[in-house]
Amino acid sequence: MLAAAGIGLAKLRNLFTVVMLAGVYSLLSAGLFTVMDAVDVAFTEAAVGAGISTVLFLAALVLVGHREKKPVRAPVLPLVVVIVTGAALAWGMIDLPPFGDPDNPVHHHVADHYLQESGHEIGVPNVVTAVLASYRGYDTMGEATVVFTAVVGVLLLLGRGAQGRRTGPEAGTGLSEPEAGEGGP
């Protein structure tokens, strides 16, 4: 279902439909993360991906419209950038250790301590939750602060755009032109 939603996102031209399908894709991803016992990641994906992002995209559609404009000609530069970036990433992966190998360096730093001692030290049966909420609590709080600040900034920018469209003497009153003149001096 994720693959079908991804292909649909690439093929559709109605931007409202794309935003709704992107929200469905995020919700499907949250369900997948839940099945994989990554409830904290699922919660974040549902809140940010399916929730806040969808609302912000819908607010942006109010400003830009619902139909994608057809390009005059196929842009070559973005395709070249994607190919060069993909090649650089593939070249950088050559030296990575094999996926899932228990002798990988990532498995011998603090992971052993977390896996063996988090139940006794923290009392939380889910190791990922124990790491995010206790061992890395300040990091998680910092990340939440960054996301909150970004959302507030976007909302302020969107709010400023709506106020900038008002013109005339009734712009600050909220009244229509005939109502603004009634009963006044």
Of 20-24, 63-67, 149-153, give the range with the top mean pLDDT.
20-24
Specify whether the CB–CB gap between 47 and 62 falls below 8 A.
no
Can you tell me the distance from the alpha carbon of 60 to that of 46, in angstroms, rounded to the nearest whole number?
Answer: 20
Q: Which of 51, 90, 77, 69 is nearest to 13 (CA)?
A: 69
pLDDT per position as a tens digit, 44-90: 888 888 888 888 888 888 888 777 777 677 778 888 999 999 999 99
3-state secondary structure of 67: strand
Structure tokens at 53: 């992002």
pLDDT at residue 162, rounded to an integer: 54
Can you tell me the distance from the alpha carbon of 23 to that of 55, in angstroms, rounded to the nearest whole number?
Answer: 9
pTM for the predicted model, two decimal places: 0.49
Can you tell me the distance from the alpha carbon of 185 to that of 180, in angstroms, rounded to the nearest whole number?
Answer: 11
Can you tell me the distance from the alpha carbon of 29 to that of 50, in angstroms, rounded to the nearest whole number?
Answer: 9
In which band, very low, low, confident or very high, does the pLDDT at 169 lie, cut at 50, 70 and 90?
A: low
For the residues of 120-155, what is the DSSP string, one character each?
HHT--S-HHHHIIIIITHHHHHHHHHHHHHHHHHHH
Sign of CA dihedral 132, 137, 29, 81: negative
pLDDT per position as a tens digit, 175-185: 445 554 455 44
Q: Which amino acid is at 147?
A: V
